[in-house]
């Protein structure tokens, strides 16, 4: 009798443990259905910002960038549109490529998400250190390898941008970038429409002290390791990581 009870007890534990794993797996799956994220150590991975090829033609789409890189013996691992742009596909606001300022910092006011204050700058130093700062705090000291300006800031000094409203009905597909506590970069795109507050909250919960919105409805991400391959688009700046073929 005692042996039977013992077996029933063990069986109950196994069933409960299995159920727990199933529930946990469902929670993880639910989370994956909301966000696509990619973490980069800029000191170990070849991370670059792209706008034009060596013939001064705009890449525009991730597919064109992927093809161009392949011709140059590079394999694209990840790509995401890297900020807002004008009708001619030129970056809206600051763009620095290989220490050269291609487009100056925009400190003016206007309409649209780019001008929703504070906006900010995401940049990589020549020492491959990532930084996100408010536009007024940006200083070009000549040691910035890549930079893109966008807006609004999502997280500022560990707090969600105060202009965002909880339960806002202003929803859209969104992509952005943040700096994690270990100084790695996290790129995120929502798989479903989401408001600014909830999108910013994802970065805050990840531990980002600062995070920047990149764009919305037009956003595309190429990340084959997570079975996500959007290669279309009509962008300005594209941010990508590569390896040699």
Determine how many CB atoms are found less than 10 A away from the CB of residue 94.
24
Same domain for 8 and 84, yes or no, is no
The count of domains in the chain is 2
Same domain for 72 and 113, yes or no, is yes
Determine how many CB atoms are found less than 10 A away from the CB of residue 18.
10
Return the structure tokens found at 33: 């259905």
Same domain for 216 and 108, yes or no, is yes
Q: What is the pLDDT of residue 33?
A: 83
d(CA 79, CA 71): 17
Same domain for 224 and 189, yes or no, is yes
Q: How far, CA to CA in Å, does 13 sit from each of 2, 6, 19, 23, 55? A: 17, 11, 10, 15, 65
Average pLDDT in the 35-47 region? 97
Same domain for 145 and 45, yes or no, is yes
How confident is the model over 66-119, as pLDDT tens digits? 999 999 999 999 999 999 999 999 999 999 999 999 999 999 999 999 999 999
Predicted TM-score (pTM) of the model is: 0.86
Same domain for 127 and 56, yes or no, is yes
Pairing of strands 144-150, 95-97: antiparallel
Same domain for 24 and 71, yes or no, is no
Domain, as residue range, for 10: 1-33
Same domain for 14 and 92, yes or no, is no
Q: What is the pLDDT of residue 135?
A: 98
Same domain for 5 and 100, yes or no, is no
């Amino acid at each position: 009798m005692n042996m039977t009870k013992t077996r029933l007890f063990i069986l109950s534990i196994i069933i409960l443990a299995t159920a727990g794993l199933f529930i946990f797996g469902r929670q993880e799956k639910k989370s994956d259905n909301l966000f696509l994220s990619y973490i980069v150590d800029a000191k170990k991975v070849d991370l670059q910002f792209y706008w034009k090829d060596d013939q001064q033609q705009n890449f525009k789409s991730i597919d064109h960038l992927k093809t161009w890189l392949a011709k140059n013996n590079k394999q694209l691992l990840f790509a995401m549109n890297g900020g807002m742009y004008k009708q001619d596909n030129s970056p809206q606001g600051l763009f620095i490529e290989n220490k050269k300022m291609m487009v100056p910092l925009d400190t003016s006011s206007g309409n649209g998400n780019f001008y929703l204050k504070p906006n900010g700058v995401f940049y990589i130093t020549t020492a491959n250190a990532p930084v996100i700062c408010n536009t007024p705090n940006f200083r070009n000291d000549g040691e910035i390898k890549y930079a893109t300006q966008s807006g609004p800031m999502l997280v500022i000094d560990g707090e969600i941008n105060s202009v965002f409203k909880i339960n806002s009905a202003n929803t859209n597909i969104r992509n952005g970038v943040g700096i994690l506590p270990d100084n790695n970069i996290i790129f995120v795109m929502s798989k479903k429409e989401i408001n600014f507050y909830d999108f910013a909250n994802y970065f805050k919960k990840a531990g980002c002290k600062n995070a920047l919105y990149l764009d919305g409805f037009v956003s595309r991400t190429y990340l084959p390791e997570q079975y996500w391959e959007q290669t279309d688009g009509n962008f300005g700046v594209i941010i990508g990581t590569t390896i040699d073929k």
